[in-house]
Amino acid sequence: MRGQISLDAIFAVTLITITIMSLVSLSSHEVNGVKSLGDAARLKVFAISLRDTVVQVYSTNGNFSVRKELPLKLGQGDWVNVTLNSTAGTLRVVARIGGNEYITMEKIPVFLESTSSVVLTAENNTLWVVGRYEKGVMDVRLSKKP
């Protein structure tokens, strides 16, 4: 009888331990999913803000620059590639953050004279939207410096 109680107790403790470990694993996956969703949302907001900044710089019709900072903290090996594509008339943001890859695009409602691209990293997480009016044409580009 004593042996039976001990075996039942060991079995119950084992089941409780397995249940707790499953809950911890599930919550860990949920936290990672929420973090990934948060990163994607911040990148989308950054892309929309950058699109609006490009339009604002274009509308100044003169030499004008605006500094933009990435709203995410990047770790080692993380990067964000931001491209203004004159052919497609789009702003494209491609990122690798924490081993996950994100892509977002925004249509630019103004004419882009040239294509430009900037890669942001943990060491350099700012870019400039630079507008230059030359030879009767407004050119808006992305740059690492003004």
Token pair recorded at residue 75: 């770790």
Token pair recorded at residue 9: 């107790």
Query: Could you give the CA distance from residue 43 to residue 66 in angstroms, rounded to a whole number?
Result: 18
Domain that holds residue 128: 2-143
Look at the chain and report how many structural domains it folds into: 1
Q: What is the pTM of this model?
A: 0.82
Query: For residue range 14-70, what is the model confidence (pLDDT) as tens digits?
Result: 999 999 998 888 888 787 777 889 999 999 999 999 999 999 999 998 899 999 999
DSSP 23-86: HHHHHHHHHHHHHHHHHHHHHHHHHHHHHHHHHHHHHH-SSEEEEEE-SS---TT-EEEEEEET
Query: For residue range 66-96, what is the model confidence (pLDDT) as tens digits?
Result: 999 999 999 999 999 999 999 999 999 999 9
What number of other Cβ atoms are within 10 A of residue 130's Cβ?
18
**Which residues fall within 8 angstroms of residue 96, CB to CB, at 6 or more apart?**
77, 78, 79, 102
